[in-house]
Chain A
Amino acid sequence: MKRSTTVYYFDHSATTKPHKDVLDTFVKVNEEYYANSSSIHELGVEAHMLLSRARKQIADILKTDETKVIFTSGGTESNHFAIHGLAKSLQSRGKHIITSSIEHPSVLESMKQLEAQGYEIDYLPVNDKGIVLVEEVKTRLRKDTIVVSIMHINNELGSMQPIDQIAKVVHLNSRAIFHVDAIQSFGKYPVSFSVLGADVITLSGHKFNGLKGSGIVAWKNHLSFEPIIVGGGQESGLRSGTVPVAQAVAFAKAMRMAHENQLLMLSTYIRWNIKLRTFLNQFRDVRILSPDEAAAHILTISVRNIKGEVLVNALQAKGIIVSTSSACSSKQTKISHVIEAIGLSDDYKKGVIRISLGTSNTDLQIEEFIKHFSTIMKQIKGD
């Protein structure tokens, strides 16, 4: 099928387009501060100072200090570092870890690796809204629980976990370290150590108009992590490899811009979300899977007895870009673990598509979506 020339992008949870200013920063830093930030000559010192400033800016937004932020190659590495790093360094205290059944694969697969290494992993179930019950967390906490890892906003449904409440329960009832994957929420909802109550937060740059290949791990109190990547001892020995200063600075810039626009954008997403929900509710065969309380920028729906892929292609022909559940799993034909977890009936399981909003959308684009979706539904369903 041929693609339409105008593109209305509704797949921001898969990735976003880097902001022009972020790209400018990336180019400028590469041109002027290309020296190795570990070098002791003047150019190296300058690069190092710039890197420190970027790190400080990130720490300030998250409300921690700059010694507790490291740069990684993205969300997946960040999650790996947090989970493996903590599990290894805390193993003398215990080998029990709690997570949820709807985490991102980078978390779930890490957990599987640990399971094979003799760790005991508890996968919390979620209710039909994709939400972990706080009580359930409490009952599973044990003396030897070392890590609890729960995502803030789910990438496939947009369901938002009661992170602050879970943090309270974890901290009151155990010595476990609470990791929050806030990759889908930063820039959309308030994310900081004071708001979430987490001990460790992981972020990925390309989800908020930054660059792919850049992420961070940040933590609040003194923690020790066993490094995964060893070598030259960069990033305080926690993550070796020459630090890509330009990526780091671009990350800090994208993060600041997303942070500054967060409130304004959230009110816009809420407005669009209500508009789309009102529209989609008219169709007998469309079910909105994202719960009412879900994050406003992710709207996952399913059309009865239609394959998600068919809808994606039909919309694409009109220039509208959406995805089938998450981009990571959409190339695989099996039903996503998140969709399985909320217990959807068979006739809806295959027709899942995700509409995810972002800074590139406009009121007009929402209108266009509504117009074209109606046409497509008429064609395939006669609605």
Chain B
Amino acid sequence: MEWKELLIRYGELSTKGRNRNAFTGRLRDNIRYAFADLPKFQIVTERDRMFIRPNDQYTMDQLIERLPRIFGIQSFSPVASCSLDLEDIKHTAIKVVESLERTDKTFKVTVKRSYKPFEMETNELQKFVGSHVLRTFPEIKVQMKKPDIDLHVEVRRDAVYMMAQVIQGAGGLPIGSNGKSLLMLSGGIDSPVAGYQMLKRGVRLDAIHFYSPPYTSELSKEKVMDLAEKLSRFGASVKLHIIPFTAIQQEIQKQIPENVSMTTTRRMMMRIADLVREDTNALAIVTGESLGQVASQTLESLTAINAVTTTPVLRPLIAYDKLDIIDIAQEIDTYDISIRPYEDCCTIFTPASPKTKPKLEKVEFYESFKTFDEMITQAVTEREIIMFPKKKQDKFSDLL
């Protein structure tokens, strides 16, 4: 089937009152950015919908495949067009319906006739198209209320436009319409999902990862890079900050009693994250914490960890079940990366029985014997920053 254009419905954007123009403009820019690799295409923004008109079939296929990942789109439909000739209209209607699953489906035709000199009236054209489709596909039945297939026929001056398929979009808000946050990206299953949830609410992301060579391998770093790459596919670049964490971890091992070392480790991570957040002009810190999942995610632990900063710490997964998180991870294609079995910095020095109810005063007391400030500043300045999506590495290109 050769489609002429795509009609895009905004969804939640429609309720955004006077900010609407900023939102639609943002969405248009995000679409341009996400499809920068394709030949140029036209985008027409209207009040409650948007049209995209690619110039070739490949671009159209790519758009149909990748648009469901762009936030701020509720749904979209491929639109076919034909001349005002009745035979042509019949033929196109058949082709449009043919491209859909039809067994046990109900159907209706909706006609909009903005070009009034057209030879048939609205009802006449409706019957004309409907009866022809029904004759061709005896397996479908007519139903006026909530049909499975609603074939829209719009007669304009230049051509007749037709569509029937409604493809679900990702929903949410266009990325960038809600500021920037810093995501703590561990390499596990939860944090990329938390990042995704924030992206979906229009938040732009930087990500921070703690790396402890030689205890953690190149592969664990590569894993986090792959996750950042995946997140960058949702329509906005992601900057990954990799923090050298070995020295601090070793110091914690030395100074802090084993059963609260985990809490201190998290507090140090949070302090570093807060510095990086400040440096990158992000407004909040995002984590993948889910209440009660592990020792560091009890309310007591969260309180002790959170005490190091007044920055809002957003925890979009706090009330999610693990299985629901896994479902989303699979949907957004990060699950397979997350379950690669490499050690990360949280797992290498795990105490046998970490405190699930650490007392803030005690933790602060233990930490008071050693000032970590200098090490923290050093870790922040020595961080490695990588942009995603990454430019192609060309080391291998002559081999391929």
Tell me the A residues contacting B by CB distance below 8 Å. 25, 28-29, 40, 42, 45, 48-50, 53-54, 57, 67, 172, 194, 249, 252-253, 256
Least Cβ distance of B221 to chain A in Å? 9
Contacts A45-B222, A194-B61; is A249 near B217 (CB within 8 Å)?
no
Q: Is B218 an interface position by the 8 A CB rule?
A: yes
Give B59-85 as 1s and 0s: 1 = Cβ < 8 Å from A's Cβ atoms. 001000000000000000000000000
Contacts A40-B217, A194-B61; is A256 near B222 (CB within 8 Å)?
no
Chain A neighbourhood of B217, CB < 8 A:
40, 45
Contact B400 A45 (CB under 8 A): no
Give B187-223 as 1s and 0s: 1 = Cβ < 8 Å from A's Cβ atoms. 0000000000000000000000000000001110010
| CB interface residues, B 373-400, toward A, < 8 Å | 393, 396, 399-400
Give B315-337 as 1s and 0s: 1 = Cβ < 8 Å from A's Cβ atoms. 00000000000000000000010
Contact of A40 among B219, B336, B399, B400 (CB under 8 A): B219
Contact B219 A249 (CB under 8 A): no
Contact B218 A42 (CB under 8 A): yes
Contact of A53 among B218, B219, B400 (CB under 8 A): B400
| CB interface residues, B 330-350, toward A, < 8 Å | 336, 342
- 7 of the cross-chain contacts (CB-CB < 8 Å) are A45-B218, A48-B219, A49-B396, A50-B399, A194-B61, A249-B400, A256-B400
Chain A neighbourhood of B342, CB < 8 A:
40
Q: Which residue of B lies closest to A252 (CB)?
A: B400
Contacts A67-B336, A194-B61; is A29 near B219 (CB within 8 Å)?
no
Contact A253 B222 (CB under 8 A): no
Contacts A40-B219, A45-B218, A194-B61; is A249 near B399 (CB within 8 Å)?
yes
The size of the chain B interface, using a CB distance under 8 A, is 12
Chain B neighbourhood of A249, CB < 8 A:
396, 399-400
User: When chains A and B are docked, how far (Å) is the Cα of A172 from the Cα of B393?
Assistant: 42
Contact B400 A57 (CB under 8 A): yes
The interface centre, meaning the residue of A25, A42, A53 with most chain B CB atoms within 10 A of its CB, is A53
Contacts A67-B336, A194-B61; is A54 near B219 (CB within 8 Å)?
no
User: When chains A and B are docked, how far (Å) is the Cα of A85 from the Cα of B393?
Assistant: 35
| CB interface residues, B 35-91, toward A, < 8 Å | 61
Q: Which residue of A lies closest to B220 (CB)?
A: A40
Least Cβ distance of B227 to chain A in Å? 15
User: When chains A and B are docked, how far (Å) is the Cα of A54 from the Cα of B217?
Assistant: 23
Chain B neighbourhood of A49, CB < 8 A:
222, 393, 396
Contact of A28 among B61, B219, B222, B399 (CB under 8 A): B399
> Interface of chain B, helix or strand or loop or mixed?
loop
Contacts A67-B336, A194-B61; is A45 near B219 (CB within 8 Å)?
yes
Contact B400 A253 (CB under 8 A): yes
Give B295-319 as 1s and 0s: 1 = Cβ < 8 Å from A's Cβ atoms. 0000000000000000000000000
Contacts A40-B217, A67-B336; is A29 near B399 (CB within 8 Å)?
yes
Chain B neighbourhood of A57, CB < 8 A:
400
The interface centre, meaning the residue of B336, B393, B396 with most chain A CB atoms within 10 A of its CB, is B396
> Interface of chain A, helix or strand or loop or mixed?
helix
Contact of A54 among B103, B336, B393, B400 (CB under 8 A): B400
Chain B neighbourhood of A53, CB < 8 A:
393, 396, 400
User: When chains A and B are docked, how far (Å) is the Cα of A67 from the Cα of B399?
Assistant: 21
Least Cβ distance of B270 to chain A in Å? 30
Chain B neighbourhood of A50, CB < 8 A:
396, 399
Q: Which residue of B lies closest to A50 (CB)?
A: B396
The interface centre, meaning the residue of B217, B218, B336 with most chain A CB atoms within 10 A of its CB, is B218
Q: Which residue of A lies closest to B61 (CB)?
A: A194
Chain A neighbourhood of B103, CB < 8 A:
172
Chain A neighbourhood of B399, CB < 8 A:
25, 28-29, 50, 249, 253
Extra 19 A-B pairs, beta carbons < 8 Å, given A50-B396, A249-B396, A253-B400: A25-B399, A25-B400, A29-B399, A40-B217, A40-B218, A45-B217, A45-B218, A45-B219, A48-B219, A49-B222, A50-B399, A53-B396, A54-B400, A57-B400, A172-B103, A194-B61, A249-B399, A249-B400, A256-B400
Chain A neighbourhood of B400, CB < 8 A:
25, 53-54, 57, 249, 252-253, 256
User: When chains A and B are docked, how far (Å) is the Cα of A249 from the Cα of B398?
Assistant: 11
User: When chains A and B are docked, how far (Å) is the Cα of A332 from the Cα of B342?
Assistant: 53
User: When chains A and B are docked, how far (Å) is the Cα of A54 from the Cα of B61?
Assistant: 24
User: When chains A and B are docked, how far (Å) is the Cα of A25 from the Cα of B400?
Assistant: 8
User: When chains A and B are docked, how far (Å) is the Cα of A82 from the Cα of B155?
Assistant: 48
User: When chains A and B are docked, how far (Å) is the Cα of A42 from the Cα of B217?
Assistant: 9
Q: Which residue of B lies closest to A53 (CB)?
A: B396
User: When chains A and B are docked, how far (Å) is the Cα of A45 from the Cα of B217?
Assistant: 10
User: When chains A and B are docked, how far (Å) is the Cα of A249 from the Cα of B222?
Assistant: 20
User: When chains A and B are docked, how far (Å) is the Cα of A253 from the Cα of B400?
Assistant: 5
Q: Which residue of A lies closest to B102 (CB)?
A: A172
Q: Which residue of B lies closest to A173 (CB)?
A: B103
Chain B neighbourhood of A54, CB < 8 A:
400
Q: Which residue of A lies closest to B337 (CB)?
A: A67
Least Cβ distance of A164 to chain B in Å? 12
Least Cβ distance of B220 to chain A in Å? 9
User: When chains A and B are docked, how far (Å) is the Cα of A54 from the Cα of B397?
Assistant: 10
Which 7 pairs, one residue from A and one from B, show the smallest C-beta to C-beta distance? A45-B218, A25-B399, A53-B396, A40-B217, A50-B396, A252-B400, A40-B219
User: When chains A and B are docked, how far (Å) is the Cα of A77 from the Cα of B48?
Assistant: 54
| CB interface residues, B 265-283, toward A, < 8 Å | none
User: When chains A and B are docked, how far (Å) is the Cα of A9 from the Cα of B218?
Assistant: 48
User: When chains A and B are docked, how far (Å) is the Cα of A53 from the Cα of B396?
Assistant: 8
User: When chains A and B are docked, how far (Å) is the Cα of A57 from the Cα of B392?
Assistant: 12
Q: Which residue of A lies closest to B226 (CB)?
A: A52
Least Cβ distance of A50 to chain B in Å? 5
Least Cβ distance of B29 to chain A in Å? 26
Chain B neighbourhood of A40, CB < 8 A:
217-219, 342
Least Cβ distance of B395 to chain A in Å? 8
User: When chains A and B are docked, how far (Å) is the Cα of A252 from the Cα of B342?
Assistant: 28
User: When chains A and B are docked, how far (Å) is the Cα of A45 from the Cα of B225?
Assistant: 14
| CB interface residues, B 90-122, toward A, < 8 Å | 103
User: When chains A and B are docked, how far (Å) is the Cα of A40 from the Cα of B221?
Assistant: 12
Q: Which residue of A lies closest to B58 (CB)?
A: A194
Least Cβ distance of B148 to chain A in Å? 16
Chain B neighbourhood of A42, CB < 8 A:
218
The interface centre, meaning the residue of B103, B217, B342, B400 with most chain A CB atoms within 10 A of its CB, is B400
Chain A neighbourhood of B61, CB < 8 A:
194
User: When chains A and B are docked, how far (Å) is the Cα of A381 from the Cα of B222?
Assistant: 69
Least Cβ distance of B70 to chain A in Å? 18
Least Cβ distance of B307 to chain A in Å? 37
Q: Which residue of B lies closest to A57 (CB)?
A: B400
Chain B neighbourhood of A29, CB < 8 A:
399
User: When chains A and B are docked, how far (Å) is the Cα of A54 from the Cα of B400?
Assistant: 7
The interface centre, meaning the residue of B218, B219, B393, B399 with most chain A CB atoms within 10 A of its CB, is B399
User: When chains A and B are docked, how far (Å) is the Cα of A194 from the Cα of B103?
Assistant: 23
User: When chains A and B are docked, how far (Å) is the Cα of A249 from the Cα of B396?
Assistant: 10
Least Cβ distance of A350 to chain B in Å? 46
User: When chains A and B are docked, how far (Å) is the Cα of A256 from the Cα of B400?
Assistant: 8
Q: Which residue of A lies closest to B336 (CB)?
A: A67
